[in-house]
Chains A and B, each alone.
Chain A
Amino acid sequence: MGADPKTRSFTLPSQIADVPGTEGWQSMYPYYTRFQPQDDQRFWFYNAMHFPEPMPAFDALTAEVPYEGLGAFTTRIFAFPTTMGIEHRIVNGRIYITANPVTDPAEIQRRLAIFQERAGYYYENWDQLFREWKVRLENLIHELEAIKVPKLPEFDEAEVVMKAKGLGQNHYVRENFHRVIELFSKMWHHHFEMLMLGYGAYMVFFDFCKKAFPETPDQTVARMVAGIEVLMFRPDDELKRLAKLAIEFGVDDLFAADCHAKKVMDDLGARGEAGRRWLAELDKSREPWFNMSTGDGFYHHHLSWNDDLSVPFAALPRYVEQLRRGESLERPTERLKKERGRIIAEYRELLRSEDERQAFDQMLGLSHLVFPFVENHKFYCEHWFTSLFFKKVREFGALLVAQGVLAEAGDVFHLQYVEIESALADVSLAWAGGGKPLGAAHWRPIVEERKRILEKFKEWNPPPALGPIPSQINDPALQMLWGITSETLESWSATVEAGHEKEIVGFAASPGVVEGIARVLRNVNDIGQIREGEILVCPVTAPSWGPVFGKIKAAVSDIGGTMSHAAIVAREYGLPAVVGTGQATQRIKTGQRLRVDGNRGIVRILD
């Protein structure tokens, strides 16, 4: 360690040079995401947990809108006493964030009075509010689904006249695109409506356990908190159901290893009644359960199972095979429940006084109260809604292709959303005026340039943190969402100073130490490549990866915390897991030998 911690610093934002060949990248992102000279005075860290890849221009909205929602609830609505919101900046395509703490005791008191009244109302009525929340989210999703992307035919529909609507389709180009963005904003507000309070309840219980049982790993505490039956297991359960039905209907022969979704579905269509029945069951599973992002809902290219059926179809042959061998695919929920009950009871018994036991009951009870929301909101928000959101924006991309502005629909994600509005205005004007949009000449070179820059950005290894190292950090928002504490900073600065090239540090998500061969899968579509006994290294640990857990020896991810879905699944399967490393998929190559230490959260490259 160096001298006085106050004088130590990570690289300053102003010291970061452009990646060669990306000059002018700043125009990809809004002006308010750029580092300012005064930002050198503040501490920033790379949000690798949510944004492990360089941001395409449009996808930067998945930082902007969540931080609007998060900050609204912590800073303005609930008035969290010691923290306001998150500020973010983009450099070389990467998102750096910092928190705004409240440190003045008088100010904390003033905010506390508001917080107690407002947060108290939500905690007091949690179950009821969560029931209403689900209805609100489902309504929002249906609203989004119902939004039509105008086709802009040569002549508008007759009913504009016959029903005296009085509005041309080109008006809806503007309005409907706006509404897609507005609904996205509403979703993220609802996302944070209850989330930070939920994490607050977790923090209390984790904090208690750290004091009462200082050497108990977080993952054990997480096992006491986690529910057994949560929505995030449901998509995987649907696959198991479909595998069972394939056997029951006698069409299981079609699910051979490396089968193609399209071919299997065609073949099923030709199988008469049995095939049709299976396809009908598939349709039942698809809505809503296949609205499962292959990522965590922050990048347009993380398609959903519905967008790309090859993901669920890659998992089906294995389940069919297991069932044929007579293996049970059921999660042993009764056993898991009993084991959780035993662990809770025995930890409780170790406490020294009845007072402590009562406090333990209160805190754990509160965690169990908030758990269903904290765990299930992800399906509604990051998966179901967000999958449909990107799909809708892609449809506007298709409109821009149809009007000759863009070369392909996905190119729309290389424009900022305000630029898309501008391109749509161009289209709307041209349709109305009877001329041609001018966008092709303007946008296509920009899109090509940005695609090139994004590739270049991948060559940059973003430092985990920037700016002066604070002597201590205990912002509850940073701790709740990113698990960042003073100890995290120490380990980062140690890594920076000692340059542990062979070591990658993350969160210890599931205990155990194993060695094995790495299989780096950037995309869940490649799930078929993984071989029995390999170590899965993936960007995110969303439930889409569920099917491989029976096959692998350990899991390593760029994103995720102790309470993340993958952590929960890994613990159930008894596999060591290190999550939230921020950089595993960049630094590890398929075929390398790894040691995964799920007790300490360290991955070591042994080659």
Chain B
Amino acid sequence: MTNPKLISRFDEIGIHDRPSVGGKGASLGELARAGIRVPPGCVVTTAAFEQFLAGIDPVGSIRREIEKLPADDLAACTRIGAEVRARVVGATLPEVLQEQIAIHYDELHSRTASAGNGEPVAIRSSATSEDSADASFAGLQDTFLWVRGVDSVIEHVRKCWASLYAVESVMYRRRLKLPEQGLAMGVVIQRMIDSRCSGVMFTRSPNTGDRSVIVVEASWGLGSAIVSGEVTPDKYVVGKITGEIVSRTVSTKLRMHRPNAAGAGVVEEEVPANQQNAACLSDDELNELVDIGKRVERHYGCPQDIEWAIARNLPANENVFLLQSRPETVWAAKDASPVAAPKGKPFDHVFSLLSGGAAKK
């Protein structure tokens, strides 16, 4: 019997590997397989988490205790959550896992990485839950940006695992009565893009649900500034079928997130004055993004909600990366009543419209 894999590279996994690597990891693997440019990386599998959990809790008391928590008992959820997190963060990883992480982290070193500090990576939680509210659930876990050095990577893997027991996550699972058994998390370790600008892209309008447009929001620096709502991004609406830019709103962008040049982590700063009112994207970049959005949507067969970044130091045609893509869920849930149904004769539609709806056949 072979041992389950503890770490998988993106090119080894696809969307069906969700149970073993979590949604985010599986999706990144799937994108890479579909030929979409994503920053290279790997996923610490759920099996690695199970092994780790078994190591610190051989009798399974953690899961039992959490399942007993009443969904509305904030104090108890807070107390138990904090205890479990402390255990997770304080424990040592099995040796074999530590070695594997070190090997894969080494593989991520780019030629441009500065010596000494180690390649900057993002450590992102990758949850396995499959309920339809996955998008909201995923948002509850943590992402750590610009992590450098293998010790720091391992520390942040533990922090991601610990985030499973954040009070919001625990209460969310209790409210939905999700079983703790089998609850696990993959952790993505991915080369970090020092982005000149970044943002989100919806392959259907978030405002109206219109599937014929792609909406792109963009701001300077790392995407965390948009996701956290600290900045009003530029907004572009592009016709999916015609490729026409339907509208282009350039906002005043005051804040940006940038990697901490001195070492690790992210700093928040003012956007330089001459960039505040400048558009983040050229038409070429916008077209490239839209094209990628269309490919991803076609690949998955449904509208997508995408995070992207444009690297600061790479040439055009090599600098646009997707960081995440997941099915759009808000409008998908609303798609119900049809806009119109066929009528006996084509011109019956005219009767109905020109009579203010009085003619309904």
Say yes or no: A80 contacts B354, CB within 8 Å: yes
Say yes or no: A343 contacts B242, CB within 8 Å: yes
Q: Is A119 an interface residue (CB 8 A)?
A: yes
Chain A CB within 10 Å — which of B237, B345, B355 has the most?
A: B355
Say yes or no: A208 contacts B354, CB within 8 Å: no
Say yes or no: A201 contacts B338, CB within 8 Å: no
Question: Which among A82, A211, A366, A511 is the interface contact of B354 at CB below 8 angstroms?
Answer: A82
Q: Is B359 an interface residue (CB 8 A)?
A: yes
Which residues in chain B, 246-275, are within 8 Å of chain A measured between CB atoms? 246-248
Q: Which residue of B lies closest to A351 (CB)?
A: B339
Q: Is the interface of A mostly helix, strand, loop or mixed?
A: helix
Q: Bits for B186-210, please: 1 = Cβ < 8 Å to A, else 0.
A: 0000000000000000000101111
Say yes or no: A200 contacts B245, CB within 8 Å: no
Return A381 CB to nearest CB of chain B, in Å: 22
Say yes or no: B245 contacts A511, CB within 8 Å: yes
Question: Which among A119, A223, A355, A474 is the interface contact of B338 at CB below 8 angstroms?
Answer: A355
Contacts of B356 in A (CB 8 A): 81-82, 108, 474
Question: Which among B210, B341, B353 is the interface contact of A214 at CB below 8 angstroms?
Answer: B210
Say yes or no: B340 contacts A356, CB within 8 Å: yes
Contacts of A211 in B (CB 8 A): 339-340
Q: Which of A20-28, A285-293, A357-365, A425-433 contacts B (4 or more CB under 8 A)?
A: A357-365
Return B327 CB to nearest CB of chain A, in Å: 15
What separation, in Å, do the CA atoms of A355 and B340 have in the docked complex? 7
Say yes or no: A352 contacts B347, CB within 8 Å: no
Return A225 CB to nearest CB of chain B, in Å: 14
Contacts of B248 in A (CB 8 A): 513, 599
Contacts of B211 in A (CB 8 A): 213, 350
Q: Which residue of B lies closest to A223 (CB)?
A: B242
Q: In the complex where A203-B353, A513-B248 touch, is A356 in contact with B339 (Cβ < 8 A)?
A: yes
Say yes or no: B349 contacts A366, CB within 8 Å: yes
What separation, in Å, do the CA atoms of A56 and B359 have in the docked complex? 44
Q: Which residue of B lies closest to A513 (CB)?
A: B248
Say yes or no: A215 contacts B244, CB within 8 Å: no
Question: Which among B245, B247, B350 is the interface contact of A119 at CB below 8 angstroms?
Answer: B350
Return B11 CB to nearest CB of chain A, in Å: 32
Q: Is B239 an interface residue (CB 8 A)?
A: yes
Return A204 CB to nearest CB of chain B, in Å: 5
Q: Is A539 an interface residue (CB 8 A)?
A: no
Q: Is A600 an interface residue (CB 8 A)?
A: yes
Say yes or no: B342 contacts A216, CB within 8 Å: no
Return A600 CB to nearest CB of chain B, in Å: 7
Say yes or no: A346 contacts B343, CB within 8 Å: no
Q: In the complex where A80-B354, A201-B350 touch, is A599 in contact with B245 (Cβ < 8 A)?
A: yes
Q: Which residue of B lies closest to A81 (CB)?
A: B355
Return A505 CB to nearest CB of chain B, in Å: 15
Say yes or no: A207 contacts B353, CB within 8 Å: yes
Say yes or no: B237 contacts A215, CB within 8 Å: yes
What separation, in Å, do the CA atoms of A456 and B258 have in the docked complex? 63
Contacts of A172 in B (CB 8 A): none
Q: In the complex where A215-B246, A350-B211 touch, is A119 in contact with B351 (Cβ < 8 A)?
A: yes
Q: Which residue of B lies closest to A83 (CB)?
A: B354
Q: Is B213 an interface residue (CB 8 A)?
A: yes
Q: Is A592 an interface residue (CB 8 A)?
A: no
Question: Which among A116, A214, A366 is the interface contact of B346 at CB below 8 angstroms?
Answer: A366
Say yes or no: A81 contacts B358, CB within 8 Å: yes
Say yes or no: A347 contacts B241, CB within 8 Å: yes
Which residues in chain B, 178-235, are within 8 Å of chain A measured between CB atoms? 205, 207-213
Return A203 CB to nearest CB of chain B, in Å: 6
What separation, in Å, do the CA atoms of A220 and B239 have in the docked complex? 9
Q: Is B65 an interface residue (CB 8 A)?
A: no
What separation, in Å, do the CA atoms of A360 and B341 have in the docked complex? 9
Return A128 CB to nearest CB of chain B, in Å: 15
Q: Bits for B300-342, please: 1 = Cβ < 8 Å to A, else 0.
A: 0000000000000000000000000000000000010011111
How many residues of B are counted as interface, with CB atoms below 8 angstroms from the partner's CB atoms?
A: 37
Q: In the complex where A112-B359, A358-B342, A362-B343 touch, is A213 in contact with B244 (Cβ < 8 A)?
A: no
Say yes or no: B358 contacts A105, CB within 8 Å: yes
Contacts of A347 in B (CB 8 A): 212, 241
Say yes or no: B349 contacts A599, CB within 8 Å: no
Which residues in chain A, 336-375, are within 8 Å of chain B measured between CB atoms? 342-343, 346-347, 350-353, 355-356, 358-363, 365-366, 369
Which residues in chain A, 94-151, are within 8 Å of chain B measured between CB atoms? 105, 108-109, 112, 115-116, 119-120, 123-124
What separation, in Å, do the CA atoms of A216 and B237 have in the docked complex? 10
Q: Is A212 an interface residue (CB 8 A)?
A: yes
What separation, in Å, do the CA atoms of A216 and B211 have in the docked complex? 10
Return B216 CB to nearest CB of chain A, in Å: 13
Say yes or no: A356 contacts B351, CB within 8 Å: no
What separation, in Å, do the CA atoms of A350 and B347 have in the docked complex? 23
Contacts of A212 in B (CB 8 A): 339-340
Contacts of A516 in B (CB 8 A): none
Q: In the complex where A343-B241, A362-B342, A511-B244 touch, is A123 in contact with B213 (Cβ < 8 A)?
A: no
Q: In the complex where A347-B241, A513-B248, A599-B245 touch, is A116 in contact with B343 (Cβ < 8 A)?
A: no
Contacts of A350 in B (CB 8 A): 211-212, 240-241
Question: Which among B242, B342, B354 is the interface contact of A476 at CB below 8 angstroms?
Answer: B354
Q: Is A217 an interface residue (CB 8 A)?
A: yes
Return A357 CB to nearest CB of chain B, in Å: 9
Say yes or no: B338 contacts A200, CB within 8 Å: no
What separation, in Å, do the CA atoms of A580 and B211 have in the docked complex? 29
Return B204 CB to nearest CB of chain A, in Å: 9
Q: In the complex where A213-B210, A600-B247 touch, is A363 in contact with B339 (Cβ < 8 A)?
A: no
Return B24 CB to nearest CB of chain A, in Å: 28
Chain A CB within 10 Å — which of B207, B213, B340 has the most?
A: B340
Contacts of B239 in A (CB 8 A): 216-217, 220
Say yes or no: B246 contacts A599, CB within 8 Å: yes
What separation, in Å, do the CA atoms of A400 and B328 have in the docked complex? 75
Contacts of B345 in A (CB 8 A): 120, 123-124
Which residues in chain A, 240-280, are within 8 Å of chain B measured between CB atoms? none
Contacts of A108 in B (CB 8 A): 355-356, 358
Say yes or no: B343 contacts A359, CB within 8 Å: yes
Q: Which residue of B lies closest to A350 (CB)?
A: B211
What separation, in Å, do the CA atoms of A212 and B211 have in the docked complex? 9
Return A312 CB to nearest CB of chain B, in Å: 33
Chain B CB within 10 Å — which of A203, A350, A600 has the most?
A: A350
Contacts of B209 in A (CB 8 A): 214
Q: Bits for B114-155, please: 1 = Cβ < 8 Å to A, else 0.
A: 000000000000000000000000000000000000000000
Say yes or no: A115 contacts B355, CB within 8 Å: yes
Say yes or no: A204 contacts B349, CB within 8 Å: yes
Contacts of B242 in A (CB 8 A): 220, 223, 343
What separation, in Å, do the CA atoms of A356 and B359 have in the docked complex? 19
Say yes or no: A359 contacts B349, CB within 8 Å: yes
Say yes or no: A81 contacts B354, CB within 8 Å: yes
Question: Which among A109, A200, A217 is the interface contact of B358 at CB below 8 angstroms?
Answer: A109
What separation, in Å, do the CA atoms of A120 and B247 have in the docked complex? 40
Chain B CB within 10 Å — which of A214, A223, A369 has the most?
A: A214
Contacts of A203 in B (CB 8 A): 350, 353-354
Chain B CB within 10 Å — which of A346, A352, A362, A599 has the most?
A: A362
Contacts of B335 in A (CB 8 A): 352
What separation, in Å, do the CA atoms of A197 and B340 have in the docked complex? 20
What separation, in Å, do the CA atoms of A443 and B213 have in the docked complex? 62
Contacts of B245 in A (CB 8 A): 511, 599
What separation, in Å, do the CA atoms of A361 and B343 have in the docked complex? 11
Say yes or no: A216 contacts B350, CB within 8 Å: no
10 more CB-based (< 8 A) A-B contacts, given A359-B340, A366-B347: A112-B355, A201-B347, A204-B349, A212-B339, A215-B210, A216-B213, A352-B338, A355-B341, A363-B346, A599-B248
Can you list 13 residue pairs at the A/B interface with Cβ under 8 Å? Answer: A108-B355, A112-B355, A123-B345, A212-B339, A212-B340, A217-B246, A223-B242, A343-B242, A355-B342, A356-B338, A356-B341, A359-B343, A599-B244
| Shortest 7 CB-CB contacts between residues of A and residues of B | A358-B342, A123-B347, A359-B340, A362-B346, A81-B355, A214-B208, A213-B212
